[in-house]
Structure 1
């Protein structure tokens, strides 16, 4: 099997290896071939279980909140529905999409995919279906929402009595089954059912794909010299077009949003008629003063340090593209991979606010409303995710002069 490393563009001839072994790029250590075991039966079972758990979590009590004899109980859809009542339509829509609609769609599609649908469907339909399915995963945030629920419970346990309903435990089961199914997902095997990978000839003298004008498809990783991938019919490029410019544009937008996200209140707590605004920093201080040191540290790093660090790292990587590859390039690639991986985990605070707004609605006694800061924070995190997605790490390994010449012919 022949491939090009998606991180450094090294052409690799992967030998026949054990099904339980993985293949790593000898230059940057990126995983270029995962475990090649047929998990179809397990994925179908796990997906069905996850789907049943997700559906169950939507119709029963999720969390109950009691204070001074007044009780508020919410279901899972209430996390978004109540935001709509406070004119936070975009935030509510984002939560509905990321924790319910997208995971449900992915699970529904995964089941027929692993029952042989890709072979039974017309190739054009199978190709589009698989491309659509694989684009859903990065935007699903069910596991982050679950962490956000636990953090929000820590925040309010000192104020009132909190109890978990049957839907909460169903959602925990859903997340466990969903993550288990994803860890068994073999993308290369799915693409081989649509169309087997082909090997290019006369590439033995080339060290990197770009040296022979070979393009690695960003969707299915098929090598080709054509402008259209012969396997998935996506457009192919030597490098992602305007990668640095797009990443920089998303970064600038995220930094613009970073300032109001930290300065403006992310929520307001109304207690006996008194309204108290809370910013990201004040929320961390409150947790620290209450003795919840681990939670305070997690929120501080996820909501304050990580977004700023990601912006600085991606800005540095965009600058390093203009420099020749050196001994530190492998380290830069690792840092980029880590930045891309942790991107969506900054959304914890968004889900914390959503749960608090949905749950703490006790009239004049106590209530929580969303602030404009949380909207800016959500946009900031999404922009940083887009920036990381737009950046092409292979540029770090290129000679600036050569890459300019090659892309002119793309």
Structure 2
């Protein structure tokens, strides 16, 4: 390293793979590269998940396929005095806004539309980025991945609302509320996108940064 400090620009993060080690993804204990079983927790050791990207794209695609009917078909079917009405996710948001419940409408719209769409974009972006060398900061990509993992569970709020309404609004002859096919599709879409995110091997981010540094 010279006195100007330019040598620091050529340094790269030292990973377990570079050091000839493999880390356990369950208890974080490291072992020599080539070990297959963690001596602490008994978990399987693998330096890189070679099939992770196939699983990421498979779950991502299935989740997207279920997300489409989740927004096209009714989420709620309401029956009042022999009269039935159906409401999609967007239709329910509009109806809530028309009744002045802007806060609730905003929460439902954010949790049911913005978050799921954002997750699809973020997971797809990460999966495409790690396919080849890139100049993005690895920590930024890792933070994006952690946000996707953390926020995924909140996409279920729409399903929770439906479950609560079905349980509370059961007045026999006066009114009944039943979940529509969209509720099932939406729940499955959330589950599949969560599986897609969990299948992503974040260690691949650092591999691509290392490739650029070597070049």
- d(CA) in 2 for partners of 1:283, 1:329: 40
User: SS of 1:212's equivalent?
Assistant: coil
In the TM superposition, residue 379 of structure 1 has moved relative to its aligned partner by 0.3
Unpaired runs of 5+ residues, structure 2, are 1-12
Deviations 1:265-291 (A, max 9, x none): 111011111100111111111111111
Task: Give the direction of change, closer, same or farther, for the CA distance of 1:213–1:325 in structure 2 (3 Å limit).
Answer: farther
Unpaired runs of 5+ residues, structure 1, are 1-205, 403-410
In the TM superposition, residue 241 of structure 1 has moved relative to its aligned partner by 3.6
Partner of 2:184: 375
In the TM superposition, residue 221 of structure 1 has moved relative to its aligned partner by 0.6
Partner of 2:113: 304
2:98 maps to 1:254: no
2:49 maps to 1:210: no
Partner of 2:10: none
In the TM superposition, residue 328 of structure 1 has moved relative to its aligned partner by 3.2
2:93 maps to 1:284: yes
2:116 maps to 1:322: no
2:136 maps to 1:358: no
- d(CA) in 2 for partners of 1:302, 1:233: 38
Cα pair 2:63 2:189 within 8 Å, conserved = yes
The count of residues paired between Structure 1 and Structure 2 equals 197
In the TM superposition, residue 234 of structure 1 has moved relative to its aligned partner by 0.7
How well do the aligned residues superpose, as a CA RMSD in angstroms?
A: 1.7
When the two structures are superposed, what TM-score results if normalisation uses the length of structure 2?
0.87
Deviations 1:323-369 (A, max 9, x none): 32524332222111111100010101111111111111112211101
- d(CA) in 1 for partners of 2:96, 2:16: 51
Cα pair 2:78 2:177 within 8 Å, conserved = yes
In the TM superposition, residue 259 of structure 1 has moved relative to its aligned partner by 0.5
In the TM superposition, residue 249 of structure 1 has moved relative to its aligned partner by 0.6
- d(CA) in 1 for partners of 2:136, 2:124: 20
When the two structures are superposed, what TM-score results if normalisation uses the length of structure 1?
0.46
User: SS of 1:277's equivalent?
Assistant: strand
- d(CA) in 2 for partners of 1:230, 1:307: 39
In the TM superposition, residue 298 of structure 1 has moved relative to its aligned partner by 1.1
Written as runs of structure 1 = structure 2, the 5 A alignment for 1:10-409 is 207-225=14-32, 226-399=35-208
